[in-house]
């Protein structure tokens, strides 16, 4: 550990000495070399990022295609179900119309039967309301 501090103090001095000993072309090569290495790293990172982005875009496109296929299938199924629903609605509407028609006919038949009954009996079917009307019904006698 003691030697590390001794060497650390000499590093700037050695760097200055060695830097002064370099010729012009060696210094230019050192600077351009550092720049070229930096440029090479920059190009490598740019290509790597572009390739990564391209792969991510392909994955997004693939997921979008799968989603679109699923969407189309779901819309087709939805259309089928809506057609079935419309058929069921039409069937129920026809049944309701038939039931209404039958109920109207039954109501007319009941009215006709009541009219015939009244005509045959030659009197109204309803007893007049009076004091002696209560005596004719055994369950309605007062105690």
Assess if residue 101 is contained within a domain.
yes
- pTM for this structure? 0.42
What tens-digit pLDDT sequence spans the chain (143 residues)? 555 556 666 555 555 555 567 787 787 888 888 888 989 999 999 999 999 999 999 999 999 999 999 999 999 999 999 999 999 999 999 999 999 999 888 888 888 888 777 777 766 556 655 555 555 555 555 54
Are 95 and 103 within 8 A, CB to CB? no
Buried-state track 68-84, b at ≥16 Cβ within 10 A, e below 16: eeeeeeeeeeeeeeeee
- Assess if residue 140 is contained within a domain: no
Buried b (16+ CB within 10 A) or exposed e, 102-132: eeeeeeeeeeeeeeeeeeeeeeeeeeeeeee
Specify if 133 maps to a domain. Answer: no
- Return the pLDDT at 139: 53
Q: Which tokens in the block code for residue 92? A: 């129920």
Full domain range(s) for residue 66: 2-123
Residue 52, domain member (yes or no): yes
Is residue 81 included in any domain, yes or no? yes
Beta strands in 1-143 (DSSP E): none
Domain count, the chain: 1
């Amino acid at each position: 550990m003691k030697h590390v501090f001794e060497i650390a103090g000499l590093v700037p001095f050695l760097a200055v000495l060695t830097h002064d000993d370099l010729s012009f072309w060696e210094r230019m090569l050192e600077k351009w070399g550092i720049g070229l290495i930096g440029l090479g790293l920059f190009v490598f990172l740019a290509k790597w990022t572009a390739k990564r982005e391209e792969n991510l875009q392909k994955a997004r496109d693939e997921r979008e295609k799968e989603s679109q296929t699923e969407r189309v299938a779901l819309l087709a199924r939805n259309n089928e179900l809506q057609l079935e629903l419309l058929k069921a609605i039409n069937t129920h509407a026809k049944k309701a119309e038939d039931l209404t028609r039958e109920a109207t006919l039954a109501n007319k038949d009941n009215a006709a039967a009541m009219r015939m009954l009244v005509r045959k009996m030659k009197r109204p079917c309803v007893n007049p309301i009076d004091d002696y009307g209560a005596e004719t019904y055994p369950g309605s006698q007062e105690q």
